Amino acid sequence: MKRLTKSLAIGTIGLFALSGCASGSGSDSGDEFPAQDIRLTVPWAAGGSGDLTARTIAPLLERELGVEVIVENRPGANGSVAYNWLKDQKPDGYNLSMMGVEVATLQFQDYDIDPANYEPIGQGLAGPGAIAVPVDSPFETLEDLIEAAKASPGDITYSSPGVGSVWDSPAQGLQELAGITLTSVPFDGSAPAVAAVAAGDADFSIDAIGTQKTQVDAGKLRYLAMLTDERDPKNPDVPTAKESGIDLTNASWVGIMAPAGTPAETVQRLSEAMGKAVEDPEYRTVIENSNLVPTFKDSEEMKSFLEAEADRYGPWIALAQGK
């Protein structure tokens, strides 16, 4: 795949200095948008689904918009480093950020992140979730796991990529729906959390199907239940949680957003370009080969979606905080 993006390894001070340049003279010229290069910030470290999405979609956006889209990683503090940076940028469409569910959920934690500070451009993919256990686990079904948790409250452990995260929250939902008590074993992100279960350091994992797949393919994990409405076509023998009597679904997702106040016509131009990029066969092939689902919602759809995500995750995060 031809890639035109640049990966910038710049310190914090340098990045802030550059932000002034990127939001400068070109956007004030009165030229039709876009009239200069666009910066696309990734709130996470390289290698994850958000980074993959940015580096796959950037050259396709370049093709649609006719300007270079420069990708740079700005990880830290559950995405809040990048999100706080973005809200302070000039709302002209030239500084964008990838976004995940944290935009809707960090408001329930000790972060000054308000969804009202952002203008969604669109969604690029979804990462459906699953419950997985070590390959030699005594649990053959989700019902087995729930029965064991009821018999020994707190003894069954799950690996968590962080309180309030997209994959810790459904574990709270599982406890509430099944009437059980589980113990969280925290890790710094999904990859180490899933690896820990494969190593036997926790009883089960709730995470994206794609994140768990490497360990499943290596014969170290097996899926117990899918957190999808219907069975996963690639794993047709694995039942859904709903089939096991637990009405629980969950998926990670990745999108793009701009600062609040970005002109409506600029948001529309970006959203239309993103929609075409998500439908591009090149993009779909990369995303599907990563066991993710190319999924597009435009700017208006994302506004209501973010509200719904906040309503869904808020009670789960409160449970995790003991509220």
The CATH number of the domain where 205 resides is what? Answer: 3.40.190.10
Using one digit for the tens of pLDDT, what is the confidence trace for 211-223? 899 999 999 999 9
Does the residue 263 lie in any domain? Answer: yes
103, 164: one domain: no
Q: What percent of the chain has pLDDT over 70?
A: 90
158, 186: one domain: yes
Whether residue 34 is preceded by a cis peptide bond, meaning omega within 30 degrees of 0, is yes
Give one DSSP letter per residue of 40-69, joined into a string: EEESS-TTSHHHHHHHHHHHHHHHHHSS-E
**pLDDT value, residue 77:** 87
d(CA 181, CA 153): 5
For residue 23, give the DSSP letter. T
Q: Tell me the CATH number at 282.
A: 3.40.190.150
Are residues 255 and 122 in contact, defined by beta-carbon separation less than 8 angstroms? yes
Q: How confident is the model at residue 26 (pLDDT cuts 50, 70, 90)?
A: very low
Q: Which residue has the higher pLDDT, 78 or 31?
A: 78
Range of the domain at 149: 127-244
**pLDDT value, residue 31:** 66
Query: Could you tell me the pTM of the whole model?
Result: 0.83
For residue 240, give the DSSP letter. B
116, 179: one domain: no
Give one DSSP letter per residue of 132-178, joined into a string: EEETT-S--SHHHHHHHHHHSTTTSEEEES-TTSTTTHHHHHHHHHH
**pLDDT value, residue 15:** 30
| Cα distances (Å, whole numbers) of residue 309 to 31, 150, 179, 304, 313 | 37, 29, 23, 9, 6
Using one digit for the tens of pLDDT, what is the confidence trace for 210-266? 889 999 999 999 999 999 999 999 999 999 999 999 999 999 999 999 999 999 999
Tell me the two tokens of residue 231: 């069975």
**φ/ψ of residue 95, rounded to 5:** -125, 115
Q: How confident is the model at residue 20 (pLDDT cuts 50, 70, 90)?
A: very low
196, 277: one domain: no
